[in-house]
Amino acid sequence: MTNVCNLTDRKCKPCEGGVPPLKQEEAENLLKQLEQDWQLVNNKISRVFSFKNYYQTMAFVNAVAWISHREDHHPDMLVGYNQCRVEYTTHAIGGLSENDFICAAKVDMLLIS
């Protein structure tokens, strides 16, 4: 991971639409700043996080919810017993924005010890 502090130091900007989504090259460059497990597919970035048990999974989900609330930018999450898939896209523009990468970087920071 490179320059993650650059993304984690940023704050999401309100996005009500009217701006174009990131171009593929821009998204790929920002993706390089995240942990390597993030994938870029169909104008979305996603990552599956695995845990030892349900309690740890739910603690992670609640932490992501807190980040989402603070940034006012919300992912789709698919939660199972010991894993959670986090998926970001900016629905208002029908694709990716810098906000998606800012939030993904902050989620990554939850697991860095």
State the pairing for strand pair 44-50/83-88.
antiparallel
| pLDDT tens readout for residues 17-69 | 778 999 999 999 999 999 999 999 999 999 999 999 999 999 999 999 999 99
Domain ranges of the chain: 22-109
Average the pLDDT over 106-110 and give the result: 95
CATH of domain 22-109: 3.30.1360.20
Average the pLDDT over 73-81 and give the result: 97
Asked if 96 and 12 count as a contact pair (C-beta separation under 8 A), the reply is no
Res 5: pLDDT: 53
pTM of the model: 0.89
**Residues paired with 87 in a beta bridge:** 46, 76
Whole-angstrom distance, CA of residue 1 vs CA of residue 34: 6
Locate 58 and state its tokens.
């739910």
Whole-angstrom distance, CA of residue 84 vs CA of residue 61: 8
